[in-house]
A and B are shown apart, each in its own frame.
Chain A
Amino acid sequence: MKTVNLTCVECPMGCAIEVQLDGESVVSVVGNTCPRGLAYAKNEVVCPMRVLTTTVKSTDGRMVSVKTDNPIKKSNMFSLMQVINGITVTAPVKIGDIIMKNIEGDVNLVATDCLK
Chain B
Amino acid sequence: MKKSYDIVVIGGGPAGLAAAVSAYDNGVKDVLILEREPRTGGILNQCIHNGFGLTRFKESLAGPEYAYKFAVEAEKRNIETLTQTTVLSISKDKKVTAINKENGVFTVEAKAVILAMGCRERSRGALNIAGSRPAGVFSAGTAQKYINVKGYMPGKEVVILGSGDIGLIMARRMTLEGAKVHAVAEIMPYSSGLKRNIVQCLDDFGIPLYLNHTVTEIRGDKRVTGVTISQVDQNKKPIKGTEKSFDCDTILFSVGLIPENELTKGMGVELSPRTKGAVVYQNRETSIEGVFACGNALQVHDLVDFVSEESELTGKSAAEYVLNGAKPRDTINCVQGKNINYVLPQKIDKNASGDVKLYFRVSNTFKNCTIKLECNGKELIKRVKRVAAPGEMETLLLKESLIKSLEGDVILSLEESV
Q: A65-B64, A81-B177 are in contact. Are A53 and B203 (CB under 8 A)?
A: no
Flag whether A67 is at the interface (Cβ < 8 A): yes
Q: Mark A83-96, 1 if CB is under 8 A from B, else 0.
A: 00000000000010
Our pick among A13, A48, A53, A77 for the contact of B48 (Cβ within 8 Å) is: A53
The minimal Cβ–Cβ distance linking B411 to chain A, given in whole angstroms, is: 24
Our pick among A7, A65, A74, A113 for the contact of B198 (Cβ within 8 Å) is: A7
The minimal Cβ–Cβ distance linking A116 to chain B, given in whole angstroms, is: 10
Flag whether B402 is at the interface (Cβ < 8 A): no
Flag whether A61 is at the interface (Cβ < 8 A): yes
Q: What number of A residues sit within 8 Å (CB to CB) of B?
A: 27
In the complex, which residues of chain B have a beta carbon less than 8 angstroms from the beta carbon of A65? 48, 62-64, 148
Q: A53-B49, A113-B45, A113-B64 are in contact. Are A12 and B148 (CB under 8 A)?
A: no
In the complex, what distance in Å separates the CA atom of A69 from the CA atom of B118?
A: 30
Q: A55-B48, A65-B148, A113-B45 are in contact. Are A78 and B176 (CB under 8 A)?
A: yes
Taking a contact as CB atoms under 8 Å apart, the answer to whether B203 and A95 are in contact is no
Flag whether B406 is at the interface (Cβ < 8 A): no
Taking a contact as CB atoms under 8 Å apart, the answer to whether B149 and A63 are in contact is yes
Residue of A9, A53, A55 with most partner-chain B CB within 10 A: A53
Flag whether B199 is at the interface (Cβ < 8 A): yes
Taking a contact as CB atoms under 8 Å apart, the answer to whether A12 and B392 are in contact is yes
Our pick among B60, B68, B176, B199 for the contact of A114 (Cβ within 8 Å) is: B68
Chain B contact residues: helix, strand, loop or mixed? helix
List the B residue with the shortest CB-CB distance to A68.
B50
Flag whether A54 is at the interface (Cβ < 8 A): yes
Q: Mark A3-21, 1 if CB is under 8 A from B, else 0.
A: 0001101001110000000
Taking a contact as CB atoms under 8 Å apart, the answer to whether B204 and A9 are in contact is no
Taking a contact as CB atoms under 8 Å apart, the answer to whether A13 and B387 are in contact is yes
Q: A7-B199, A12-B387 are in contact. Are A81 and B65 (CB under 8 A)?
A: no
The minimal Cβ–Cβ distance linking A64 to chain B, given in whole angstroms, is: 9
Flag whether B133 is at the interface (Cβ < 8 A): no
Taking a contact as CB atoms under 8 Å apart, the answer to whether A7 and B176 are in contact is no
In the complex, what distance in Å separates the CA atom of A78 from the CA atom of B177?
A: 9
The minimal Cβ–Cβ distance linking A51 to chain B, given in whole angstroms, is: 5
In the complex, which residues of chain A have a beta carbon less than 8 angstroms from the beta carbon of B60? 51
Q: Mark B211-224, 1 if CB is under 8 A from A, else 0.
A: 00000000000000
List the A residue with the shortest CB-CB distance to B148.
A55
In the complex, which residues of chain B have a beta carbon less than 8 angstroms from the beta carbon of A32? none
Taking a contact as CB atoms under 8 Å apart, the answer to whether A14 and B200 are in contact is no
In the complex, which residues of chain A have a beta carbon less than 8 angstroms from the beta carbon of B392? 12
Q: Mark B49-67, 1 if CB is under 8 A from A, else 0.
A: 1100000000011111100
* Complex interface residues of chain A between 58 and 116 (CB less than 8 A to chain B): 61-63, 65, 67, 74, 77-78, 81, 95, 112-114
Q: Give the B-binding residues of A (Cβ under 8 A).
A: 6-7, 9, 12-14, 48, 50-55, 57, 61-63, 65, 67, 74, 77-78, 81, 95, 112-114
Given contacts A63-B148, A65-B62, A112-B64, 14 further A-B contacts (CB under 8 A): A9-B195, A9-B199, A9-B200, A12-B389, A51-B60, A53-B50, A54-B48, A54-B177, A65-B48, A65-B64, A78-B176, A112-B61, A113-B45, A114-B68
**Between-chain CB contacts (< 8 Å), 26 pairs:** A6-B199, A7-B203, A12-B195, A12-B387, A12-B389, A12-B392, A13-B386, A13-B387, A14-B195, A50-B204, A52-B176, A53-B62, A54-B176, A55-B151, A63-B149, A63-B151, A65-B62, A65-B148, A67-B62, A81-B176, A81-B177, A95-B65, A112-B50, A113-B64, A113-B65, A113-B68
